Chain A
Amino acid sequence: KAGVTQTPRYLIKTRGQQVTLSCSPISGHRSVSWYQQTPGQGLQFLFEYFSETQRNKGNFPGRFSGRQFSNSRSEMNVSTLELGDSALYLCASSTSGTYNEQFFGPGTRLTVL
């Protein structure tokens, strides 16, 4: 089985722009979660989707949004980028949710200038 894929792998944007990141889960996985990783903060939970429904959301401003499509692929959008949004964004998929083992993609490294 192919693993979790994330595109693009690297992205450079300027403040005020918006960005869309994409995640393709492992075939058959219906749960997709997104995380932000920054030095010293570990992995911060952004949101989790299952069958196109957001089931939970972390403590991030409304500039961070996401969606999941019928084929379980997911996108994450960040609007009005700020310097502090520079981070590694990780996507993870699982069969049914965060109570199961999650499989992570390699991440998208976002740099905001």
Chain B
Amino acid sequence: DQQVKQNSPSLSVQEGRISILNCDYTNSMFDYFLWYKKYPAEGPTFLISISSIKDKNEDGRFTVFLNKSAKHLSLHIVPSQPGDSAVYFCAASGGGYQKVTFGTGTKLQVIP
């Protein structure tokens, strides 16, 4: 049972444009969401997070939006840069449990 879903395995965007990565979840107990970026042969690195008490969190070029009623979150990267090309994982925690559920990832390619 995939509780965190990233339905787009890949995405291609032109440099300078906006990249939008989507994530859906099914477990209503989730109350904290994170995005990680992963380059080949490296471990994931933390990008940005959002608590369920917010609907938006921004950090430089990265903004995460949370729609609790739709159980949907998205990561916006503006403007996209070639160095952003990586696999992006959406992750969720909840219920006070020290356990993180990750999505399957979206591979972003930013074309110069």
Contact = CB atoms under 8 A, between A and B. Distances in A.
Nearest to A57: B99
Interface in B74-112: 89, 91, 93, 97-105
Interface in A61-105: 90, 92, 97-99, 101-105
Given A48-B99, A55-B98, A101-B34, A106 B46 contact: no
A92 B43 contact: yes
Given A42-B105, A90-B44, A101-B34, A31 B49 contact: no
Interface residues of B, number: 23
Interface in A10-44: 31, 33, 35, 40-44
Contacts of A50: 98
A106 B41 CA distance: 7
B32 interface: yes
Given A40-B104, A43-B89, 13 more contacts: A41-B104, A42-B89, A45-B100, A45-B102, A55-B98, A56-B99, A92-B44, A98-B98, A99-B32, A101-B49, A102-B46, A104-B36, A106-B43
Interface of A: 4, 31, 33, 35, 40-45, 48, 50, 55-56, 58, 90, 92, 97-99, 101-107
Interface of B: 6, 32, 34, 36, 41-46, 49, 89, 91, 93, 97-105
